[in-house]
Structure 1
Amino acid sequence: MPVISAPYAFNEGHLFVDLRAVCGYPLYLKCEGFNFAGSIKLKAANEMVASAERDGLLKPDSILVESSSGNLGVALSVIAASKGYRFLCVTDSRCNLSTRLLMEALGSEVHVVADQDPKAGYLGKRIEYIRSLCASDTRYVWLSQYTNAGNWWAHYRTTAPEIAGQFPELDVLFIGTGTAGTLMGCARYFRNWHRPVRIVAVDSAGSVAFGGEAGRRMIPGLGMSMRPPLLDESYVDEVLRVEEMDTIRMCHRMARHGFLFGGSTGTVVSGATDWLARHSTRGLTAVAIAPDLGERYLDTIYQTNWVEGLYGEHILGSVEN
């Protein structure tokens, strides 16, 4: 058992769940929610903060500022509290209340933008607000997860090798896409591996990350209202888009087996299950990445009134055991 003195020093990176009993297909789920930030975003946050420190961008009076729909904000709150930095998270109304309260409990300030940019949505307004802050006060340091190479390098250095070590015969890897940090880090790693691995990006319907028309998205985590600057589609073999109703159904399906996962995980597993249903799985080794757990979604995805109010009263009637 490790002994740590800083909360960002611990992350369980070698836990996988066999989901065959849940989804009916051979699928291993890499669980990334077992750390003090509760999500995979702790890896990227660690890398970006450490890089900013090495480059001399962070000083004792610096104020970290970042745009986040939730999980990265919590991860940066954990690190900022531990290292003595001030942190301001700029988010929007889709951020879960429990997530906002968690950031505030850790000493961070949370600013919620109310309006959407006509083309770039809430994200555009969040970035606009951050830029105005940085222009007004040099103490603000914006890590910019959307363009920061540390975002994908963290997963090239940790997440992908953890998967490779557990599954040396890996055939296909399903990765949810938001900023594309996890996707690009893993895709770059497996591009030069000892055997070909099919990289399948899973996106939320209504996201424009891979093109297409923008649509309503109520579940934070995956999806973007602009093309992710870090994304290089030459590393991606296939893109799956998952409707939010299917995300919710999969979350409830896993919960009925005792696994309470977050919305991003529900999206990835739903997409992976659909893909596996359309392909031969004989001898296939398939892995999906679960970014977080489900406690922060108790008042949304797992709250019947919220779900039925947005998606209709019959949405949960077709959830399979």
Structure 2
Amino acid sequence: MPVISAPQAFNQDDLYVDLEGIFEHPLFLKCEGFNFAGSIKLKAATEMVEAAERDGRLTPDSILVESSSGNLGVALSMIAANKGYRFVCVTDSRCNLATRMMMEALGSQVHIVTEPDPVGGLLGARIGHVHELCESDDRYVWLNQYANPSNGTAHYRRTAPAIARQFPDLEVLFVGAGTTGTLMGCARYFREWHRPVRIVAVDAIGSVTFGGAPGRRMIPGLGTSRRPPLLDESYVDDVVRVAEADTVRACHRLARRGFLFGGSTGTVVSGAMAWLARQEERELTAVAIAPDLGERYLETIYQTAWVEDLYGDDVLDSVPDSRPLSIPSQAA
């Protein structure tokens, strides 16, 4: 029986969903949303805060500040509340309402940026606001998830070894690309492993992470409007880019089988299935990482009017209904 005194001490790290019965190809989905922060970002947040404490950057009167599209903000809000730090999350208008309310419920301040930077977009505007706060008061400590090596270290130490324990014959790993902390941490671990593993990064169309053309992105989580400093493409074997409409379809397809996942998961699953469909070899032992669950997306991805307004009235027409139940007949 787990007994904890700090919320960050608990994380279910060994839960997988077998997607073969829902999609066309075998794929094991590693579920990272079963902790008190509700996402994989708990690992990075914990590692970055603890590293800052060891280095002496964080003191009792420090004010944590971070730019986040949502999930890291929730994780840092939770840790800050537990440890007694003040925390300011700088986000933008794409951040889900439920996510903002969670951060505020945990005692954090949420600053919402609405005007994009002419060059760096909303992300650039968020980072600019973080710099302004740090220049205004030396108590602010910016962990900088975009360049902080502890972001990747968390997944090198925890996420990748957990996958390796469960799948000693792993051949392909699909990882969504945001800050690329998860991607780089896992890729570096498997580069040193006893057997080769293909690392496939999944990105959103409209993201510039891997050199794509910038474009509108309405679903927070994956993708960036500037190249992440943590990214080293030499560790990535392939990149799959996913349209947001396909993200929505994958989320609804999972939901119609009882699995409510977040937008980043829908992107990763859609990209993984597209990549697997192009392979002519035998079936591969493949794992994809699901960063979060779907409750925070009820007003967006799972809200019909929101989806149809952004992606068209027919965006969900191709999503298959769930398999009909077989109800045994009762004896007369």
- Common topology (TM > 0.5): yes
1:46 matched to 2:39: no
1:237 paired residue number: 237
Q: Quick one: distance in 2 between partners of 1:274 and 1:251?
A: 15
- Is the CA contact (8 Å cut-off) linking 1:116 and 1:125 kept in structure 2? yes
Q: CA distance change for structure 1 residues 207 and 55 in 2, over 3 Å: closer, same or farther?
A: same
- Is the CA contact (8 Å cut-off) linking 2:170 and 2:197 kept in structure 1? yes
1:132 paired residue number: 132
**Deviations 1:127-170 (CA, angstroms, capped at 9, x unpaired):** 11110111110110000000000000000000000000000000
Q: Quick one: distance in 1 between partners of 2:86 and 2:65?
A: 9
**Deviations 1:166-204 (CA, angstroms, capped at 9, x unpaired):** 000000000000000000000000001111000000000
2:268 paired residue number: 268
What amino acid does structure 1 have at the position aligned with 2:11?
A: N
For residue 278 of structure 1, report the CA deviation from its aligned partner: 1.2
For residue 282 of structure 1, report the CA deviation from its aligned partner: 2.7
Q: Quick one: distance in 2 between partners of 1:138 and 1:57?
A: 11
For residue 281 of structure 1, report the CA deviation from its aligned partner: 5.8
Q: CA distance change for structure 1 residues 245 and 283 in 2, over 3 Å: closer, same or farther?
A: closer
Q: Quick one: distance in 1 between partners of 2:283 and 2:136?
A: 58
Q: Quick one: distance in 1 between partners of 2:280 and 2:75?
A: 38
What amino acid does structure 2 have at the position aligned with 1:82?
A: N
Where do residues 93-104 of structure 1 align in structure 2 (5 Å cutoff)? 93-104=93-104
Question: 3-state SS of the aligned residue for 1:260?
Answer: coil
- Is the CA contact (8 Å cut-off) linking 1:247 and 1:266 kept in structure 2? yes
1:83 paired residue number: 83
Q: CA distance change for structure 1 residues 283 and 248 in 2, over 3 Å: closer, same or farther?
A: closer
For residue 283 of structure 1, report the CA deviation from its aligned partner: 4.4
What amino acid does structure 1 have at the position aligned with 2:119?
A: K
Q: Quick one: distance in 2 between partners of 1:220 and 1:133?
A: 23
**Deviations 1:46-101 (CA, angstroms, capped at 9, x unpaired):** 00000000000111111000000000000000000000000000000000000000
What amino acid does structure 2 have at the position aligned with 1:231?
A: L
Q: Quick one: distance in 2 between partners of 1:115 and 1:228?
A: 21
Question: 3-state SS of the aligned residue for 1:174?
Answer: strand
Query: What is the TM-score of this pair, normalised by structure 1?
Result: 0.99
For residue 212 of structure 1, report the CA deviation from its aligned partner: 2.1
Q: CA distance change for structure 1 residues 83 and 111 in 2, over 3 Å: closer, same or farther?
A: same
Structure 2 regions of 5+ residues with no counterpart? 322-332
Question: 3-state SS of the aligned residue for 2:64?
Answer: strand
What amino acid does structure 1 have at the position aligned with 2:173?
A: L
1:288 matched to 2:285: no
Where do residues 178-197 of structure 1 align in structure 2 (5 Å cutoff)? 178-197=178-197
Query: What is the TM-score of this pair, normalised by structure 2?
Result: 0.96
2:121 paired residue number: 121
For residue 280 of structure 1, report the CA deviation from its aligned partner: 3.6
Q: Quick one: distance in 1 between partners of 2:274 and 2:114?
A: 35
1:174 paired residue number: 174
2:60 paired residue number: 60
1:71 paired residue number: 71
For residue 213 of structure 1, report the CA deviation from its aligned partner: 1.1
- Is the CA contact (8 Å cut-off) linking 1:25 and 1:281 kept in structure 2? no
Q: Quick one: distance in 2 between partners of 1:281 and 1:310?
A: 37
For residue 224 of structure 1, report the CA deviation from its aligned partner: 0.3
- Is the CA contact (8 Å cut-off) linking 1:90 and 1:110 kept in structure 2? yes
Question: 3-state SS of the aligned residue for 1:23?
Answer: coil
Structure 1 regions of 5+ residues with no counterpart? none
What amino acid does structure 2 have at the position aligned with 1:41?
A: K
2:3 paired residue number: 3
Q: Quick one: distance in 2 between partners of 1:173 and 1:320?
A: 26
1:256 paired residue number: 256
Aligned residues: 321
Q: Quick one: distance in 1 between partners of 2:164 and 2:281?
A: 19
- Is the CA contact (8 Å cut-off) linking 1:90 and 1:113 kept in structure 2? yes
Question: 3-state SS of the aligned residue for 1:22?
Answer: coil
Question: 3-state SS of the aligned residue for 2:141?
Answer: strand
Q: Quick one: distance in 1 between partners of 2:315 and 2:136?
A: 47
- Is the CA contact (8 Å cut-off) linking 1:133 and 1:140 kept in structure 2? yes
Structure exhibiting the larger radius of gyration computed from Cα positions: 2
- Is the CA contact (8 Å cut-off) linking 1:26 and 1:281 kept in structure 2? no
For residue 24 of structure 1, report the CA deviation from its aligned partner: 2.0
Q: Quick one: distance in 2 between partners of 1:180 and 1:259?
A: 25
Q: Quick one: distance in 2 between partners of 1:144 and 1:261?
A: 27
**Deviations 1:253-300 (CA, angstroms, capped at 9, x unpaired):** 000010000000000000001111111463410000000000000000
